């Protein structure tokens, strides 16, 4: 009995998300086809010029825009940014530093601090429980 191993493929939208690029900015053949795991790995290991260009200049999808601005995706929406942005537009926003961006960065910093605090609290509780178990 032989086993037939099928090649796992993904939709272009999934592949674009994994590559961190905006699907509508990718070449037509990428958007219209399917991408195998091997093809995705090859794109990540040795990105073609179009992929390098998209990563460098955009337009970037919202998760990438949010990361580059140091805010959450929800923060982008609250700031009125709903469309993909180019690297140039992102840099312009950083220079302009509107009040919504300042506020969202402060919010993001608080969220990160709280996440660290909770993580440390859980670690302390776990350490105490382990110490009690040893006693």
Confidence of residue 2 (pLDDT cuts 50, 70, 90): low
Taking all residues of the chain, what is their mean pLDDT, rounded to a whole number?
91
Cα separation, 18 vs 31, in Å, equals 14
Does the structure show a pLDDT above 80 at 5? Answer: no
Residue 128 confidence class, pLDDT cut points 50, 70, 90: confident
Average pLDDT, integer, range 21-32: 93
Which of 56, 60, 71, 63 lies closest to 111 in space, CA to CA? 71
pLDDT score, position 4: 57
């Amino acid at each position: 009995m032989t086993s037939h191993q099928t090649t796992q493929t993904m939709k272009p939208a999934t592949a674009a998300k994994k590559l961190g690029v905006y699907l509508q900015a990718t070449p037509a053949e990428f958007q219209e086809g399917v991408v195998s795991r091997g093809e995705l790995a090859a794109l990540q290991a040795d990105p073609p010029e179009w992929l390098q260009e998209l990563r460098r200049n955009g337009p970037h999808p919202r998760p990438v825009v949010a990361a580059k601005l140091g805010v959450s995706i929800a923060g982008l929406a609250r700031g009125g940014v709903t469309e993909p942005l180019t690297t140039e537009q992102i840099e312009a926003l950083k220079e302009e530093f509107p009040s919504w961006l300042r506020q969202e960065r402060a919010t993001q910093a608080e969220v990160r601090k709280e996440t660290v605090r909770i993580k440390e609290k859980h670690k302390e509780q776990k350490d105490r429980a382990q110490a009690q178990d040893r006693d």
